[in-house]
Structure 1
């Protein structure tokens, strides 16, 4: 990719820059220290399935829009019930897990390197409040952080990606969407953004039919590809 083609980078956050499953596991273990690893994984799956199902319900018009904080609280209640915990304070604490997710080892240094060359825009399904806490906890560096809450929707709704286009003041083809989820990149690509897949253990790998602009093993590899 030649240097003048990209004016700004747009980053997915959950899964791409932070290890979301690891953070939720840690919250579950704090909630119920006595449960074993297999049960932790079952509770993690329960959390993830609820979030995915309810976000899709919002997208399908099956329920009014709720910010991610409300969905996290619902998931926390489900997990606590399944774990046999009925302490409201413990449930409220678990619901905040999404603001305390650890960054991947290359994330902080990678963003700092890229920020020397390009404006960085975070674009997340996390609410504005959750995103603020998450950015602070993980040490994420942005020039602008955008929440899907501002579009009253969730990715992959095109309205969410338009937030980044509007803030950048640039045409979509001058923005590079970076994500570890192929579904995320497909949606950005459909709106005209350039795309970069960064491999993560918890991501959604590309299908053989996907044709993204760039593929990288980590943020250092991405920086090398775009001359940062």
Structure 2
């Protein structure tokens, strides 16, 4: 197989490098310690549905752009109401769980290996402030981290991927988009970026109609394949 000719990697963050559901579950358990596992999963699903729906409304033009911090706070209020918790301080603490997401075990060493060969650009739907704190908490190291807030939109809006193209100064086909979400890779692919799917338990796996350049079991496997 001919090696990919790429100049930089563009990596999704939420789900690909950090375990987003695990961080939010931890926040829900702190908010409602008496909730059983089924209850925690129901509250997590409530959070996820709200964020996904409101991001879609922003993309559809039904709502003005709002940062991920605002959407997380809205989701936290919904979860707290459903759990019967009405303490504003507890709601704000739950909202901050969206910034305290654990990295997958291979993330930090995998980024270090990849950074030896390529410039690394993070590209996340997280707002600038949230992304800064998320990176710090998870120990993520970048050459540059880009927030969709700079495009005042959310992935899969092409404007978000153009941020990476502009900052890198390279044509799209010299960039490799790395993500655990097939929808993310499809959008990058439509703009001309090369694509690498990284399998994660919480990702969106490819379908039989997807044709990505690489498939990897994790960042270590990705580094091996790029080597």
* Counterpart position of 2:206: 206
CA distance in structure 2 between the aligned counterparts of 1:97 and 1:65, rounded to whole angstroms: 21
CA distance in structure 2 between the aligned counterparts of 1:35 and 1:194, rounded to whole angstroms: 43
How far off is 1:3 after superposition?
Answer: 5.1
Equivalent residues in 2 for 1:14-53, closer than 5 Å: 14-53=14-53
Q: Is the 8 A contact 2:108 2:140 kept in 1?
A: yes
Q: Is the 8 A contact 2:4 2:226 kept in 1?
A: no
CA distance in structure 1 between the aligned counterparts of 2:211 and 2:4, rounded to whole angstroms: 21
CA distance in structure 1 between the aligned counterparts of 2:106 and 2:99, rounded to whole angstroms: 19
SS at match of 1:211: coil
* Counterpart position of 1:120: 120
* Counterpart position of 2:132: 132
Equivalent residues in 2 for 1:148-167, closer than 5 Å: 148-167=148-167
* TM-score normalised to structure 1 length: 0.98
Q: CA RMSD in A?
A: 0.8
- 1:83 aligns to 2:80 (yes or no): no
How far off is 1:98 after superposition?
Answer: 1.0
* Counterpart position of 1:195: 195
Q: Count residues with an aligned counterpart.
A: 227
* Counterpart position of 1:111: 111
Structure 1 residues not aligned, in runs of 5+: none
CA distance in structure 2 between the aligned counterparts of 1:209 and 1:39, rounded to whole angstroms: 36
How far off is 1:2 after superposition?
Answer: 4.8
Q: Is the 8 A contact 2:11 2:179 kept in 1?
A: yes
* Counterpart position of 1:8: 8
* Counterpart position of 2:97: 97
Runs of 4 or more consecutive aligned structure 1 residues displaced over 3 Å after TM superposition: 1-4
CA distance in structure 1 between the aligned counterparts of 2:93 and 2:198, rounded to whole angstroms: 31
CA distance in structure 1 between the aligned counterparts of 2:219 and 2:47, rounded to whole angstroms: 28
CA distance in structure 1 between the aligned counterparts of 2:186 and 2:86, rounded to whole angstroms: 41
Q: Is the 8 A contact 1:2 1:226 kept in 2?
A: no
CA distance in structure 2 between the aligned counterparts of 1:2 and 1:165, rounded to whole angstroms: 23
| Superposed CA offset, 1:86-120 (max 9, x none) | 00000000111111000000000000010011000
SS at match of 1:55: helix
SS at match of 1:5: coil
SS at match of 2:196: strand
- 1:224 aligns to 2:227 (yes or no): no
- 1:176 aligns to 2:192 (yes or no): no
* Counterpart position of 1:58: 58
